[in-house]
Structure 1
Amino acid sequence: MGQPLNVLNIGIVGCGNIVAQYLATLPSLETLKLVAVADLDLARAEAVAAELPGVRALSVQELLDDGEVELVLNLTIPAAHAQVALAAIAAGKHVYGEKPLAATSAEAAEVLAAAAAAGVTLGCAPDTVLGTGTQTARRAIDDGLIGRPISATATMMCPGHERWHPNPDFYYVPGGGPLLDMGPYYVSSLVTLLGPVQSVIGAASHTRDSRTIATGPRAGEQIPVSTDTHVSGVLIHESGALSTLVMSFDAVATQAANIEVHGETGSLIVPDPNIFDGEVKLRRLGDSEWETLPVSGGYVDASRGIGLHDLATTAPGREPRAGGALAFHALEVMESVLRSAHTGQLVKIERTCPRPDAVPLTQTTLTREALSSPARA
């Protein structure tokens, strides 16, 4: 630790739908090198490796045992996130995972504790919060352009992932649903903008007992639904700001798939936190029009996987911006909203997290000179 890092060698576990988005980013990040891929279905790993010269297809255990792999990118389904992360940590490897950090906060706590004990670094999606959209809004708040923040709204409404995903089963079981699937983008952004949450109030509904797969070889198949598919919550931030969250797989569409932040002297429209960029708009007290703010923070032209670079270039002893602490906090907040929905009571958040560091305006594609900065070995 503490020595300049030339390249951090990455091994991917899980070669499902999401892997293509990471593979589109990794070649542009010169701090990272993909060396191996693995999947329970070895044929899927072999198909991915065949398109990537120099990348080896391995079994999951072979990848975990491989001495060349320094960080495991965990792209398995949510139910397997903790198991794979713990195995990678036990093998002495850093871990960066898809969201959520684990299927439950109890499992996530095990992962955090294991990483701390092993002295390895833990990162987790979503890394969209590192893009110019959320980070320009963060800069505006930090610069006082809206005065003291009072409230925020965060909305995601869609008819459900069975309309496009060929194997959507895991979206409709405990650990899935709109809140745990899409909520990490919104909650992570709200914490980045307004700081950690101290308590929540929630309500939820479950409108259908089955869903019909619309695409792929299973088109027409009915799958059961055993989790809430429309969730609303109020997040009470430690700062006193109140955020209203609405996540749904039951609606048709919304024009407000974004975040709004309101302060004493101004309001912000923040882009959809499921994307990296987008316009940030400000309306000041007394103005009659919205103004588009110049881009002032975040990784420029970022895409999924920039969080791996952020982890690789985080100074020793510092928490990555898309780190385990933020991912755990977001998961506990979401679980607490669901618990409140089922009990009808306010739920206090037990574990806080630091507000992640702001990202200065930074070009995404790095030069070799950038590799001389302190990074994690």
Structure 2
Amino acid sequence: MMASPIGVGLIGAGNISDQYLANLTTFPDLRVLAVGDVLEERARSQAEKYGVPRSGSVEAVLGDPDITIVVNLTVPAVHVQVSEAILAAGKHVWTEKPIGIDRASSRRLLHYATAAGLRIGVAPDTLLGPGMQTAKRIIERGEIGRPLFAQTSFQWQGPELFHPNPAFLYAKGAGPLLDMGPYYVSALVHIFGPVAAVGALGLRGSPTRRVQVGDLAGQSFPVEVPSTLSVLMEFERGGHAQSLYSTDSALFRHGVVEITGTLGTLVIPDPNTFGGRITVTRPLTAMPVAPAPLVQEAIELPQEGALTGRGVGVLDMARSLRAGRPHVASAELGYHVLDTLLAIEEAAAAQAFVRVESTTGRLGSLPADFDPLAPTL
């Protein structure tokens, strides 16, 4: 006889809660029971929009006895504080990235969870989508040989182009590195393993930015962190990567992830998405004779698995809790990614290579037949 679905609550009813609620409320193995926010009217509105039965304060979500996992969708500066409160209430945590904004409090959070026998899952769960999971299987099958190096790029004008209150995205704990870096670093760690050392150069294109949409349009806010970083990464098990993170670029180029191995180059989907086109390019057998053009075929490879969206990491946590197995997007991975991103900030400030002190074990994968919409609990 199947057990009942696992109860889920959300804290934080801001912009990203739509993406979570749209998916979490469709997974049969989960039941979203409550939405909480310091602005209770905002929580009520989101609960009504997605058919969630209860809403109210943060304390109401924490005190709900039917909730097993709480999803922390607050701003980065309070991620640790809110996650600690969730653990203190005896509930498991899924937190938006990053896990925290400094090493000391984030390590304390991990120790707290371990001592309490509770789990922490850390976004991004895009790496659990069929795009990244298929790419990982392709590499593990040896289709591009031994991975040698990667190139990634994220560049555009910045989130003030669409976000009604973007100042926090340029504050400590954010910027293009800590806001978008978790997607790219998580993807690279899944492929190459833990990061050993990083080097970086950074700059601020402007000391202030201006809100462009919404009620605050026209207001200026400070840029507290580098808005462009050029990064080099070395991995413990060999290989390296070159990455660009910028919100100073007129050229819009998102989601570039190219993995070159001894037998070819794999182009994988944007790590901020759950799926997309996957291609492999093989080495040339001979150079064409001029004036014949040099043509390289990008061979498209099939994507395996069901495509959903944000919230699949919460589902993996729920299923793994019942099965007694580790979940993939773990606190250990989330901390290593944060440690790497902070080391990049330090490397940019010092204009030197910085060792990354933390590490991770072998990272798990989802099976090719993982179906978020199938009832299993």
Match of 1:102 in 2: 100
Separation in 2, partners of 1:303, 1:123: 16
Match of 2:299 in 1: 291
Matched, 1:145 2:123: no
- 2:310 partner letter: R
Deviation at 1:69, TM superposition (A): 1.5
My pick for the range that moved more, 189-198 or 62-71, is 62-71
My pick for the range that moved more, 282-291 or 344-353, is 282-291
Instruction: Identify which of 260, 263, 266 aligns with 2:261.
Output: 263
Q: For 1:9, what is the secondary structure of its paired residue?
A: strand
Deviation at 1:254, TM superposition (A): 4.1
Match of 1:375 in 2: none
Q: For 2:320, what is the secondary structure of its paired residue?
A: coil
Separation in 2, partners of 1:255, 1:102: 27
Q: How does 1:264-283 map to 2 (within 5 A)?
A: 264-283=262-281
Q: For 1:28, what is the secondary structure of its paired residue?
A: coil
Deviation at 1:111, TM superposition (A): 1.3
Aligned residues of 2:178 and 2:341 also touching (Cα < 8 A): yes
Deviation at 1:31, TM superposition (A): 1.2
Matched, 1:319 2:317: no
Deviation at 1:346, TM superposition (A): 1.5
Matched, 1:178 2:176: yes
Q: How does 1:181-220 map to 2 (within 5 A)?
A: 181-220=179-218
- Structure 1 55/256 Cα, relative in aligned 2: closer, same or farther at 3 Å? closer
Matched, 1:9 2:7: yes
- Structure 1 218/319 Cα, relative in aligned 2: closer, same or farther at 3 Å? same
Separation in 2, partners of 1:29, 1:162: 32
Separation in 2, partners of 1:307, 1:55: 22
Match of 1:40 in 2: 38
Aligned residues of 1:29 and 1:364 also touching (Cα < 8 A): no
- Structure 1 365/15 Cα, relative in aligned 2: closer, same or farther at 3 Å? same
Q: Extract unaligned runs of 5+ from structure 1.
A: 372-377
Separation in 2, partners of 1:53, 1:295: 32
Q: What do the CA deviations read for 1:346-369 (whole angstroms, capped 9, x no partner)? A: 21111101232122223534333x
Deviation at 1:295, TM superposition (A): 1.7
Deviation at 1:58, TM superposition (A): 2.1
Matched, 1:345 2:352: yes
Q: What do the CA deviations read for 1:40-99 (whole angstroms, capped 9, x no partner)? A: 111111111223445211211122122122111000011111000001101110000111
Q: Extract unaligned runs of 5+ from structure 2.
A: 286-295
Deviation at 1:318, TM superposition (A): 3.7
Aligned residues of 1:301 and 1:363 also touching (Cα < 8 A): no
Deviation at 1:134, TM superposition (A): 1.1
Deviation at 1:260, TM superposition (A): 0.2
RMSD of Structure 2 on Structure 1 (CA): 1.6
Deviation at 1:103, TM superposition (A): 1.7
Q: For 1:111, what is the secondary structure of its paired residue?
A: helix
Deviation at 1:317, TM superposition (A): 5.5
Instruction: Identify which of 246, 249, 259 aligns with 1:248.
Output: 246
Instruction: Give the percent of matched residue pairs that are identical in Structure 1 and Structure 2.
Output: 37
Q: What do the CA deviations read for 1:209-252 (whole angstroms, capped 9, x no partner)? A: 11111100011111111111001111111111101111011112
- 1:310 partner letter: D
